[in-house]
Homo-oligomer: A and B are copies of this chain.
Amino acid sequence: MNGSGTAPAVPRPAYRRLSVEQRRSQLLGAALGLFAQRAPEDVSLDDVATAAEVSRPLVYRYFPGGKQQLYEAALRSAAEDLERCFAEPQSGPLTQRLSRALDRYLTFVDGHDTGFSALLQGGSVVATSRTSAIVDQVRRAAAEQILRHLGEPEPGPRLRTAVRMWITAVEGASLIWLDGGKQPPLDELRDGLVDHFIALLAATAARDAQTARVTRAALALETPDGPVGDLVRRLLPVVRDASHLL
C-alpha cells in the first residue's frame, strides 16, 4: 500500500537456529495459538507447521505420536503457565492477593479461549484420562495455593471443600464468560469472583470453627476501601428489611 515500486524482498532464513527446547516451545506456542481458536480435533500437525513456519517433517519429528501427543504436550505446557499464574507473595490483604492471581488466570482464559472451553466442556475426541489428570492437577495446585494463603497448616474437610467449590465455580464462570462473548469486562468478572470467595468463606465459617478462625484472621488484614468493606456496605441496604430473621 506504499505507492509505486516494489521493496526488495529481504531474504528470510528458512529456519532460525533454535535449541531442541526452544524449538519444542515454539511449536507448542504455535499449537496453543491454534487451539485457542479452534476445537482440538480441527488442529492438525500440518497446521502447526504452517503456523510456526517450519517444515511438516520437523513437527512430526518433535511429536511422533501425532495429534494426541501434540495436544497433551500443549496442555501440559498450558498447565505449567497456569500454575505460575497462582503464585503470589504472602503479604497484604487476602482479597488483593486473590484479585491479582485471578487477573492472571482470567487473562490466561481470555488468551486460550476455544482451547480452554473445549478442554473443560468435555466430549472432545482428544480428552483422555491423562488429559483429565493434567487438569485435575492444576485444580489441586490452585486449591493448595489458596489454602497456603489462608495460613492454615492443616485445613479440614469443610475448608478444603469450600476452596475446591470456589475453584469449580471460577471455572464455570470462566466458561460462561467465554460463551457469552466475554461480557462483563474481565475486571468486573474478577471482582465478582472475589466477592463470591468472601461470601463462600463466610458461609462456611458460620458452620466450621476452623474456617471461622481463618476468616477472622483474613478480615483483620482487610481495609475499609478494599472489596470486603465495599461488599459489606453494598449489602447492608439489601438485608436492612430482614431483621425479622434475627
Q: A168-B172, A203-B199 are in contact. Are A242 and B224 (CB under 8 A)?
A: no
Give the residue of B127, B207, B230, B239 whose beta carbon is less than 8 angstroms from that of A195. B207
Q: A123-B128, A202-B199, A204-B192 are in contact. Are A232 and B219 (CB under 8 A)?
A: no
How near does chain B come to A126, taking the closest CB pair, in angstroms?
Answer: 10
Please classify how large the interface on chain A is, using the bins under 10, 10 to 19, 20 to 34, 35 or more. Answer: 35 or more
A residues 194-246 with Cβ under 8 Å of B? 195-196, 198-200, 202-207, 212, 215-216, 219-220, 222-224, 226, 228-235, 237-239, 241-242, 244-246
The reply to whether the CB of A171 lies closer than 8 angstroms to some CB of chain B is: yes
Question: Assuming A165-B196, A216-B241, what are 14 further A-B pairs, CB within 8 angstroms?
Answer: A121-B136, A123-B132, A127-B127, A157-B184, A165-B169, A168-B173, A192-B203, A192-B204, A198-B203, A199-B202, A219-B242, A224-B245, A228-B245, A232-B246
| Residues in A lying within 8 Å of B, measured CB to CB | 121-124, 127-133, 135-136, 157-158, 161, 164-169, 171-173, 176, 180, 183-184, 191-192, 195-196, 198-200, 202-207, 212, 215-216, 219-220, 222-224, 226, 228-235, 237-239, 241-242, 244-246
What are 11 residue pairs bridging A and B, where the CB atoms are less than 8 Å apart in the complex? Answer: A122-B127, A122-B131, A123-B127, A124-B129, A157-B183, A161-B192, A165-B169, A165-B172, A169-B172, A192-B207, A212-B238
